[in-house]
Amino acid sequence: MSGILTYALHFDGAFNKNSLGAVSEGAKLAGEIGGEAAAVVLGGEDLSDELCASLGKYGASKVYRVRGPEGLAQPVVDAMAKVITDEGYSYALFGGGLLGFEIGAGLTARLNAGVTMEVTAVKAQDGKLVAERPILQDTAIVDVEYVGEPGIIIGRLNAFDAVESGEGAAEVVDVDVEFQEHSTKAVMVTRGEQRGADVNIEDAELLVAGGRGLGKPEGFELCEELAGALGGAVAATRAVVDAGWYPYAAQIGQTGKTVAPKLYLAAGISGAIQHKVGMQSSDNIVAINKDPNAPIFEYSDLGVVGDLNKILPKLTEAVKARKNGAG
């Protein structure tokens, strides 16, 4: 069977957006290569028939429900390896995100499969899937074909859109999985939302965005302080969210969010085209960059050439002073 299997992560009664993107993309591609689109879900009693079947809305025709620990990679590797081996799926597809990377890598090792990571698009060709992957610092894209089965495809975060295709309820199939000893060693202590994930940056009128020029995750404190003083929110580039410096929810750009605030202050951001498309409609763009030739200056209303470590704290101080009537 040339089917496509995905994994759908859930939390608090809802499926994760990236997972839904993978399920939607898997369903679309399965239609194109003439195979079945299915998903694996793990969890306890919270995994109701209704919740599992709801993946049908995103195009999955079958959902394999496994009773086991949710949110950890190794149990999912066990579950997906069993389903792929027993049912003969040709591909496993994952949305971006650290868990998807970990599961995809584990599955590749377990099944001695071929894998492509950081995939930005997938196409069907002669009944098979071809993954597109940027290389050489994103200056070129290569087509990756798979020799043998299964092929593992791990997308970049938000590479695949969650699309409700409205095809109704998926069939729910319970699967017993014998977890490997090492798979149950890690225990989930707590789950929750990432820092900043609750801020709706799409609605914020003032955004202070940070990039790799912040130097380290703690560099975001400079952005948070200025955003706090201005009454705005913090945004980020893909480079820093991929590095784990800030939550994905804050990413602006082609594979992130599109914003149009009154003020977009970019600190330590080079201004790559993929970032620009997400913020170019801002009313005022102010950029701070130590490189006078940084591309972001080409489309900024105001450019400040200098070290953000010196400029951001001074700006925060000035805004606070002004608010307190001293400026």
Ligand X SMILES: Cc1cc2nc3c(=O)[nH]c(=O)nc-3n(C[C@H](O)[C@H](O)[C@H](O)COP(=O)(O)OP(=O)(O)OC[C@H]3O[C@@H](n4cnc5c(N)ncnc54)[C@H](O)[C@@H]3O)c2cc1C
By CB under 6 A, name the binding residues for ligand X: 120, 134, 138, 211-213, 237-240, 251-256, 268-270, 272, 274-275, 278, 288-291, 294, 307-309
Tokens of 275: 């970032």
CB of 2 or CB of 274, closer to ligand X: 274
**Which CB sits closer to ligand X, 62 or 275?**
275
Backbone angles phi, psi at 62, to 5 degrees: -140, 140
Q: 210-220 burial, b for 16+ CB within 10 Å, e for fewer?
A: bbbbbeeeebb
Minimum Å distance from CB 145 to ligand X?
20
User: Min. distance of Cβ 211 from ligand X in angstroms?
Assistant: 3
And the tokens for 196? Answer: 């900043």
Locus of tokens 């087509």 = 143
Q: How far is the CB of 160 from ligand X (least distance, A)?
A: 12
The nearest distance, CB 289 to ligand X, in angstroms, is 4
Q: What is the DSSP string of 152-183?
A: EEEEPTT-S--------PPEEEEE-----GGG
**Cis-peptide into 150, omega within 30 deg:** yes
Contact at 8 Å (CB) between 260 and 282?
yes
Shortest Å distance, C-beta 240 to ligand X:
5
CA gap 199, 219 in Å, rounded: 19
Residue (89 or 245) nearer to ligand X, CB: 245
- What DSSP assignment string belongs to 223-274? HHHHHHHHT-EEEE-HHHHHTTSS-GGGBBSTTSB----SEEEEES----HH
Pick between residue 132 and residue 149 the one whose CB is nearest to ligand X.
Answer: 132
C-alpha neighbours within 13 Å on the C-beta side of residue 67: 6
Residue 290: CB minimum distance to ligand X, A: 4
Burial class (CB in 10 A: 0-12, 13-18, 19+), 275: buried
Nearest approach, Cβ of residue 25 and ligand X (Å): 15
Nearer to ligand X, 183 or 270 (CB): 270
Please report how close the Cβ of residue 227 comes to ligand X at its closest, in angstroms.
Answer: 17
Query: Which residue carries 């584990």 as its tokens?
Result: 106
Q: Which is nearer to ligand X, 27 or 308 (CB)?
A: 308
Which CB, 31 or 134, lies closer to ligand X?
A: 134
Q: Which residue is nearest to ligand X (CB)?
A: 253
- Beta-carbon contacts of 152 under 8 Å, excluding residues fewer than 6 positions away, are 91, 92, 94, 104, 107, 108, 111, 113, 114, 115, 116
Nearer to ligand X, 165 or 309 (CB): 309
